[in-house]
């Protein structure tokens, strides 16, 4: 299946009710109702959408789908491109050791927040074949899994920081966005002059 044959998904805005609502457990009967034949078809569409927007994790509700599922990885900087499609994900244990790290989110472009999370987690999820997978994640995969699992519960990372920290990060994000717009306008002007 080529990228053109894969169902195209987009991101829903941060104020969309689907982003802020917990997702019910998934079952395969839900697929046809939303135009999909298989879990693998959803996974391909999700990985393509995540890549298109430059992410390392994406939950179905961020793309407007009501499936308790997310994808993560598929980037060379993450264990040489290792990737996971996680259906009905859950955490079964966490380490007492925590780590404070900066996170971003495709739902909130340009916004980066420092979030404290357990360093290591033990998880269970179903794969595209419905088989239960048990994994232990540490480092970045642990971080991504926890961030995406929060999305399945209708929780976004902005809820994990104080209003002051959020407001400061939001101002910084707005400056970065304006800078990128200016750079894009300069580039567009340059191309117009060359044509």
pLDDT in tens, 160-170: 999 999 889 88
Q: What is the pLDDT of residue 1?
A: 58
Is 159 catalytic? The answer is no
Q: Is the pLDDT of residue 189 over 90?
A: no
Which of 124, 136, 148, 174 is catalytic? The answer is 148
> What is the pLDDT confidence band of residue 13, given thresholds at 50, 70 and 90?
very high
Q: With left for phi above 0 and alpha for psi between -120 and 50, is residue 83 left, alpha or beta?
A: beta
Residue 156 CA to residue 152 CA, distance in Å, equals 9
pLDDT in tens, 70-99: 999 988 778 788 999 999 999 999 999 999
Rg of the chain over CA atoms, in angstroms?
18
In 3D space, the residue among 166, 76, 64, 163 whose CA is nearest the CA of residue 113 turns out to be 166
Rounded distance between C-alpha atoms, residue 162 and residue 18, angstroms: 23
The pLDDT tens digits for 107-145 are 999 999 999 999 999 999 999 999 999 999 998 999 999
**For residues 146 and 156, is the Cβ–Cβ distance under 8 A?**
no
Residue 136, sorted as left (phi over 0), alpha (psi -120 to 50) or beta, turns out to be beta
Short-list 172, 135, 46, 150, CA closest to 105 = 150
Burial track 122-161 (b if 16+ CB lie within 10 A, e otherwise):
ebebbebeeeeeeeebeebbbbbbbbbbbbbeeebbbebb
pTM above 0.85, yes or no: yes
Residue 72 structure tokens:
């993560």
């Amino acid at each position: 299946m080529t990228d053109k044959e894969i169902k195209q998904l987009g991101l829903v805005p941060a104020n969309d009710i689907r982003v802020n609502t917990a997702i019910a457990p998934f079952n395969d009967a839900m697929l046809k109702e939303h135009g999909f034949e298989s879990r693998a078809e959803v996974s391909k569409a999700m990985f393509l959408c995540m890549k298109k927007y430059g992410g390392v994790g994406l939950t179905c509700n961020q793309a407007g789908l009501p499936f308790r599922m997310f994808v993560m990885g598929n980037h060379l900087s993450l264990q040489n491109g290792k990737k996971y499609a996680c259906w009905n994900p859950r955490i079964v244990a966490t380490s007492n050791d925590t780590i404070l790290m900066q996170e971003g989110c495709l739902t909130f472009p340009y916004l980066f927040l420092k979030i404290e999370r357990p360093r290591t987690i033990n998880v269970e999820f179903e794969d595209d074949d419905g088989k239960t997978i048990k994994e232990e994640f540490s480092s970045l995969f642990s971080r991504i899994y926890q961030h995406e699992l929060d999305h399945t519960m209708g929780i976004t990372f902005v809820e994990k920081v104080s209003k002051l920290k959020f407001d400061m990060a939001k101002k910084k994000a707005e400056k970065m966005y304006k800078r990128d717009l200016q750079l894009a306008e300069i580039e567009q002007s340059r191309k117009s002059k060359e044509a």
